[in-house]
A and B are shown apart, each in its own frame.
Chain A
């Protein structure tokens, strides 16, 4: 496993985000040893972390393992959590790294190819939208995970390209370029699908 944890310092960028500040309070409480906060943090953060892990690994089982790993690493930090300036970016970074580790382990085991997983869902019961979601999921599955992760962070985690760059460890221009390439590939795949 990649044992290196992200630096505790993540300079927030862009507009004010109350969610990030809330997590900072939760981190401060955790650092002070108030364990009950862990449940609250799970409810606040786990959906985003699970989504990122799923988009990175392409496996529901692996994504669940990644989320567990992230919370265990969080628990290991103890009082050091108080130094984390941007908990949301810190958690997403740890999740991305844990997902990379899981993917590497899976490749080294030469396991069977993953079954197609749903990257997107529809909140309400809408058969037509559900079908569309399944089709877009299939298109997303054909993207490289490096591109998919950037699209996820941009659309569902609300990150800026600078934050995305810090999370996945590339310059922000590379993050922006991956996003544009990913969207362009999706568009072409969709056009090809519509023509077919």
Chain B
């Protein structure tokens, strides 16, 4: 037999939801379902286990390829030859811009090219060769 307090509670009911709540809730839920019908590409990818696996596999493959197939020779990029810069009257600010992105191995021919073509005046406003 249940104790008094439990029997007392059993004799009541929790209040029902207000009648106007039904239409409000169903409208919101239907609107959400309708919005879901137009799923974007990212949701499709996220919700599809197969595509997620392929995505993760591709990322892992790229990472493994980068780690195992691209040997790091430990070489520190050399600076642009200062004599070349001075000799060709190349703007030093231009050389300083290129050095931090570690393409100085390639900078020297670029410096030579621009020097031969009278410096940066050979570039248009968007940086293309004229």
Contact = CB atoms under 8 A, between A and B. Distances in A.
B22 A46 contact: yes
B15 A187 contact: no
A132 B9 CA distance: 10
B26 interface: yes
B75 interface: no
B83 interface: no
Interface in B97-122: none
Interface string B3-26: 111101111111111100110111
Contacts of A138: none
A68 B25 contact: yes
Contacts of A43: 22
How many residues of A sit at the interface, in one of the four size bands?
A: 35 or more
Given A68-B25, A136-B8, A187-B5, A121 B13 contact: yes
Nearest to B11: A129
Given A71-B29, A133-B12, 7 more contacts: A38-B29, A54-B15, A63-B17, A75-B32, A120-B9, A120-B12, A129-B12
Interface of B: 3-6, 8-18, 21-22, 24-26, 28-30, 32-33, 36
Interface of A: 35, 38-39, 42-43, 46-47, 50-51, 54-55, 60, 63-64, 67-68, 71-72, 74-76, 78, 118-123, 129, 132-133, 136, 151-152, 155-156, 183, 186-187, 190
